[in-house]
Structure 1
Amino acid sequence: MKYLQAVYNKMSGRMKNFIAITIFLLLMCNRIFSQSRGNNTKFQDDRVVIQGKVADSLIRQLPEGISTVTLLISKYPLPSVNMVGVAYKRYEMKVHYNEQFKLTIHPPADRFYMSLYYDLEPVSSHFFWSDIDNIYILEKGDSVNVSLKKDFFLFSGKGAAKLNCESEIYKRNYDSSELFVNAVNNRDYKYFFNTVSHKIDSCFKLQLAIIKQFKNELSVKDQDILIANSYGLRYYSLLREIRQSMGMNGDTAIFKPVINSDDYKQIDFTIGKNVDPENLAQSPIYVSAIFEKIRLDNFLMVNGIVQLPASIQKTFKTIKNQFHGSIRDKLLCLFFINYSRTPTSFDYLEDAINICNDGIYKLYLLDLQERSSVGSLFYNFHLPDPSGKIINLSDFGNKVVIVDFWYTGCENCINLHQAMKKVVAFYKDNPNFIFLSISIDRDKQRWISSIRSGRYVDPNGVNLFTEGSGDEHPLIKAAKIIGYPTTIILKSGKVVSSNPPFPNGKTIFDGGTKQLINLIDNALK
C-alpha cells in the first residue's frame, strides 16, 4: 500500500486528474448498468406469460392430431366479435393433445382483455369456448398455467383467481340457441322469450353467487367488473341472437312478439350496488348488452321492410342524448364497429368525435375517420396465390377491385362470403371487375384448407396470402386494417370506398346489396 502511495505522489497533476476522471466514469457506468438491469427486470416482470395444454382427447381425431390454440389480445374491453373491429393482437399455436404451449405477451395496457379458444374442425363445427361472451381479464405481471377442456378452462398461477372466477361464470351461462331454433321453426317467439328469460335469471343468480365465493381473492374493482359482466351476460347473447335473426335472415316476424312481450319490457341493466361507471365500462359484456337493447328498441320497419338508415339515426340519437361519460364513449365505439358497413353511419362520425372524451374510444374514432378517406393510393401489394404465383395490385390496372380481408375462424367472414355471392355472380362476366380475398392466416396449409372448404371464400376466385406474417404484414399495417372482415373497393389503385355497404338484401335489388351494386356501377363508369 505504501508503495502505491509513493508511486501516486510521484505522478504529475495531469496524470492524477486522468486517474480521478477514469475512476469517476467507471463508477457512473456501474451505476447506470445497475439501473438498466433493474429497469429491465421490471420490464420482464410486466410481461404476461400464458402457458398450458389442451386436455381434450377429441384433438386426436383431427388431421395429424393437431389443434390450433388462438388468443385475441386487446386493450378494448369488448366481446371478441367486436374486439376484431378495433386494435387487437392475434396469436396462434399448433398443439397436440396434452402438449405444452407457452406464450409471452407484451401487455397493451395495465389491464387488458383476452379471448382464448381452440378449434376442433373438421371433427366439430364449433370452436370450443370461442363464444363471443368468454373474455378474460389480464393484468401486467400475470403468469398463468391453463388446462383447456371442452366444458371448462382451469387456471393456476399469478392472476389465476379472477380467471377461474370468470371461467366458472361462463360455465353457467345459459345457451339459448337450441330453443331459439325451435322458436324459429314453430314461429312461437313469445313463448321462447318467456322461457329463456326465466332460465337466464336462474343462471344469473348462480353467477353472482360465484363472485361472492371468490370475494376474498378479488379486488373491489375486479368484483365490480365481474358483477357488471354477469348483468350483461344475462341478456347479451339472447338480444344479439334476435337481432341477427332479423338482420341476417330477414326474419322480421320475430320483432313484434319479442318487443311487445312483458319479459322484454322488464329487461333492466340497473345494478343494485353503487358501481363506479368506469368499472361498468371496463366490463367486456355489460355495455355491449346495453347496445344490443338500444339497437332493438330503435329498430324501425315499414310494411315488414327494415328501415336501416332511420334505425341508425335513432340509435345514434339515443346514445348521444341518454348516456354520458365512459359508457357513452364505449357505446359510440360499438355504434361504428357495428354500423361501419352502412355508409350513412359516417354522417354521425364528426359529431361522435366531438362528444367523445379523450381516451381509447376517441382514438378509435379518429383512426376510423382517417381510414375512411376516399381517393388515397392503396398499398401496391405483392402476394402469392395458392400455387405460389405472385399477384400485384398493379396487375389489375384500371379495373374495379373489391378486396376482402379475412382469416380462418372468423364468424363474420363466413357471413360476408355468403352475402357477397349474389354480388360476385352479378359481375362474373364483367372483365373490368375483380373480387379478391386476402387471408391473414399464419399457417399456409390451414389457409388452403379453408379455401377448399368454400366457407370463407370462393375456391375458384383470386385468393392471396400474407405469407405467414398475419396482421404484421406491411399491407395490413399500411391499410390500417384492425378488424375482420374488412372490405375495400379500389379503382386504378386508389380507394373508392373503405366502408362499402354490407350486401344484406334478399335479392340484388334491395337493401345493402342494391347499395353495394350501385357503388360498384358508379366506379365502373
Structure 2
Amino acid sequence: MKLLILKSTILFFSFLLVSGHLFCQNKFNSQGARMSKISGHIKSEKRIDSIMFYWDANEDIADWHNWVITVPVKEGYFSVSCILKHVAQFAVGYNLNNVFYLEPGDSLHIEIVENKEWDQLTFSGRGAFKCRVQQAADEINTNMIKSENKAKFVCSGLDDYLITSNYYKDLQRVRLAYLESKKDSISEDVYPLVQASILCPLEHYRLSKLDDFVRKYKQFGLTEKDLLAIYDSTVNKSFINKIAYNKNLAYSLSYLSYVHVTAIPNKVKWEMRKSGASVSSLDFTYHNEYLLSKNSYSGMFRERILTRLFRKYIKYVDLSSSFLKSDIEDYLSETGFKSYKEFVKGLYQKSNSFSKGNLAPNFSLVDNFGKKVTLDDFKGKVVLIDFWFTGCHPCAQLVPTLRQIQQHFNDNPNVVIINVSIDKEKEQWLNSLAKGKYSTGLGVCLYTEGKGNRHQIINDYGVQGYPRLVIIDKSARIVRASPPDSRPLGNGQDEIELINRLLK
C-alpha cells in the first residue's frame, strides 16, 4: 500500500486513507511513539482488491464504527502502518470475534486463508507471539460434558444451567492457566487485554444462559431467595474477576463489550433484586447503569463505556425522558475527553431532529445504474430504507427477512424498498449487490458515493449502527425511526402489517 506522508512533527503524525491511503491521526509526544505495521497475504482463488480492518489506533475517535478502514490488496498482498504511542486493537475482515493487539514497534505479518469468516489467520514477525498465544488459548477445550441443550441461551432447568455454567467456568480455568504459563513472554500492557479476549466471551455465554434461567425460575419450583443464592455462587466467583483493571483495557473490545452489554446491566438488575426494588421503566434502568458506570471506572475506559451506554440509552427510550436529559446534562458538564462529549451531544441532537412524525430529510444518491435518485422521487409512496455495508454480519442476518418483505410487496407500485450502502469502493458495493449476502440487491440500490458513513444522509437519518431500517409514510413522514431491533424476527410480519396499515 502506497503511504503518503501528509504531516510529520514531534507532536502530530497523520496518515490518510483516501484512494487507498490510510488516515490515522493521533496527538502525542515523541516519547514511546513508534512505527507499527501489519502486512499480509491472502490466499484465494478469486481476485481480491481490498480488505476491511477494524482498526482502533486513534483514541480521539469516540464512535467505534469509524474504526473500520478499507486497505487495498494488490496481487494478494496488503500493508497498513501507523505510528502508535499505545496498544491498538485490530480485527481482519471486521470479524470482531477475533480481535488482536498491536504494540508500538510491532511488525506483524498475517497469512490469511480465505473462508466465510476470514478467521484462518497465521501470524509471524515482531509482536506475533501474543497473537499466537491468544489463538492457542481460544482453541483449548475440556472433557466436561456440555449441556444436552445445544442452544447456548435456552435453559431447560437448574441442572441444565449448572452444567453449562460449570462448563464455561472450566474453560475459563484451563485457558487462563495456559495464558499464565506464557505470562513472562507477554508485556504488562497487553496481558490483561489477552486475558479479556479469552475470558469475556465465555462469561457472556454463561450469563446469557443465566438470563433465560431467571426468566423461568418459578417454573422450576425455585424462590427468589434460591435465585439470589445461585447467582452469588455461580457468578460472583467467576474467573473473570482475575482481570486486573487498568487503563489499557480501553483498547479491549472484548472487555468493553462485556462490561457494557453484560456486567453493568447484570449488576444493576441483581442489586435491584437484592433490594427488593422492581424495574419501573427502561429509562430508570439505564439511569442506574449510567450512575454505576460513571462511578466505577475512570479515564478513557470510562468515556468509552459511557458513550456506548448513551448510544443504547438514546436509541431505546423516549427522548423526553427526564432521566435521559439529566444524565446527558450531567455527562456534558464534565471536562476532558472533548471528542466523546461532542459525540454524545451529536447523537442526542440527531435523534431529536430525526424522530417519529417529522418529515424525512430529502437526499440525492446514485443508484447501481448511475442514475441520481432522491426521496422526492417517491412522493405518495410508502418507503422502507435499509442501511448496510459489506462485511456487516448483522446486515447479512437481516437479508432473509428483507427478502420476505420485498416478495410480499413485489407487485405493489405504492411500496418502495431502498437499500443504502456505505461501502467506500464502488466495485465492492456492486459485487455485494450481485451476491446478495449483505443486502438483497433488489429494489432501489444506492450507495454513498465513496463517502462511507460520512455522507450527509447518514447524519440526516441519525444512523448509529448497521443494519438500520427506516419506514416513511406516503406523506414523507417518519413512522419508524428507532425500532427496538434493526433485525426483525421471523419473516418480517410486523413490518408487513405496518406497511399495509400505511397504505390504507
Structure 1 pair 354–339 and aligned structure 2 pair: CA distance change class (3 A):
closer
Q: Structure 2 counterpart of 1:314, which letter? A: T
Aligned equivalent of 2:306: 332
Within-5 A mapping of 1:90-105: 90-96=69-75, 99-104=76-81
Aligned equivalent of 1:88: 67
The separation in 2 between residues aligned to 1:181 and 1:93, in whole angstroms, is 45
Structure 1 range deviating more: 434-443 or 145-154: 145-154
Within-5 A mapping of 1:363-378: 363-372=342-351, 373-374=353-354, 375=358, 378=361
Tell me whether 1:411 sits opposite 2:383 in the alignment: no
String of CA shifts for 1:327-347, please: whole Å, max 9, x gaps.
554333223445665345884
String of CA shifts for 1:364-403, please: whole Å, max 9, x gaps.
3212112212337625222122x44432222112434332
RMSD: 4.9
Does the Cα contact within 8 Å between 2:56 and 2:67 map onto a contact in 1? yes
The separation in 2 between residues aligned to 1:331 and 1:424, in whole angstroms, is 38
Does the Cα contact within 8 Å between 1:489 and 1:496 map onto a contact in 2? yes
Structure 1 pair 429–340 and aligned structure 2 pair: CA distance change class (3 A):
farther
Does the Cα contact within 8 Å between 2:362 and 2:376 map onto a contact in 1? no
Which among 160, 184, 206 is matched to residue 151 of structure 2? 184
Aligned equivalent of 2:107: 144
Aligned equivalent of 2:117: none
Query: Structure 1: any 5+ residue segments left out of the alignment?
Result: 1-35, 119-126, 301-306
Rg: which structure is higher?
A: 1
Give the secondary-structure state (helix, strand or coil) at the position aligned to 1:383. strand
Give the secondary-structure state (helix, strand or coil) at the position aligned to 1:500. coil
Q: Structure 1 counterpart of 2:184, which letter? A: K
Tell me by how many angstroms 1:90 deviates.
1.7
The separation in 2 between residues aligned to 1:112 and 1:497, in whole angstroms, is 40
Structure with bigger helix share is: 1
String of CA shifts for 1:277-336, please: whole Å, max 9, x gaps.
x44444432232123133456679xxxxxx999567435414424651435543332234
The separation in 1 between residues aligned to 2:413 and 2:392, in whole angstroms, is 30
Tell me by how many angstroms 1:406 deviates.
1.0
Q: Structure 2 counterpart of 1:198, which letter? A: D
The separation in 1 between residues aligned to 2:445 and 2:218, in whole angstroms, is 39
Aligned equivalent of 2:447: 465
Q: How many residues align?
A: 440
Which among 342, 346, 350 is matched to residue 325 of structure 2? 350
Structure 1 pair 184–404 and aligned structure 2 pair: CA distance change class (3 A):
same
The separation in 2 between residues aligned to 1:111 and 1:524, in whole angstroms, is 55
String of CA shifts for 1:151-193, please: whole Å, max 9, x gaps.
555354xxx54x64245324422588x9689622996443233
Does the Cα contact within 8 Å between 1:49 and 1:102 map onto a contact in 2? no
Within-5 A mapping of 1:253-402: 260=230, 262-267=233-238, 269-271=240-242, 275-276=245-246, 278-291=247-260, 292-296=262-266, 310=281, 313-321=284-292, 323-324=294-295, 325-326=297-298, 328-338=302-312, 341-344=315-318, 347=321, 348-356=323-331, 357=334, 358-359=336-337, 360-372=339-351, 373-374=353-354, 375=358, 378-385=361-368, 387-402=369-384
Structure 1 pair 517–38 and aligned structure 2 pair: CA distance change class (3 A):
closer
Aligned equivalent of 2:99: 134
String of CA shifts for 1:50-104, please: whole Å, max 9, x gaps.
352226xxx34x334x3743212346779xxx997543342133354xx432335
The separation in 2 between residues aligned to 1:101 and 1:316, in whole angstroms, is 45
Which among 44, 50, 56 is matched to residue 37 of structure 2? 50
Q: Structure 2 counterpart of 1:234, which letter? A: L
String of CA shifts for 1:96-138, please: whole Å, max 9, x gaps.
4xx4323355x7x9547443314xxxxxxxx8xx243514345
Aligned equivalent of 1:455: 437
Q: Structure 1 counterpart of 2:288, which letter? A: K
Does the Cα contact within 8 Å between 1:85 and 1:484 map onto a contact in 2? no
Tell me by how many angstroms 1:213 deviates.
1.6
Tell me by how many angstroms 1:410 deviates.
0.6
Tell me whether 1:154 sits opposite 2:123 in the alignment: yes
The separation in 2 between residues aligned to 1:245 and 1:417, in whole angstroms, is 30
Give the structure-1-normalised TM-score.
0.65
Aligned equivalent of 2:30: none
The separation in 2 between residues aligned to 1:354 and 1:369, in whole angstroms, is 11
The separation in 1 between residues aligned to 2:219 and 2:428, in whole angstroms, is 43
Tell me by how many angstroms 1:437 deviates.
0.8
- Percent identity, aligned pairs only, is 18
Structure 1 pair 235–521 and aligned structure 2 pair: CA distance change class (3 A):
same
Structure 1 pair 77–37 and aligned structure 2 pair: CA distance change class (3 A):
closer
The separation in 2 between residues aligned to 1:419 and 1:245, in whole angstroms, is 29
Give the structure-2-normalised TM-score.
0.68
Aligned equivalent of 2:179: 207
Query: Structure 2: any 5+ residue segments left out of the alignment?
Result: 1-5, 16-23, 26-34, 114-119, 221-226, 271-277
Give the secondary-structure state (helix, strand or coil) at the position aligned to 2:151. helix
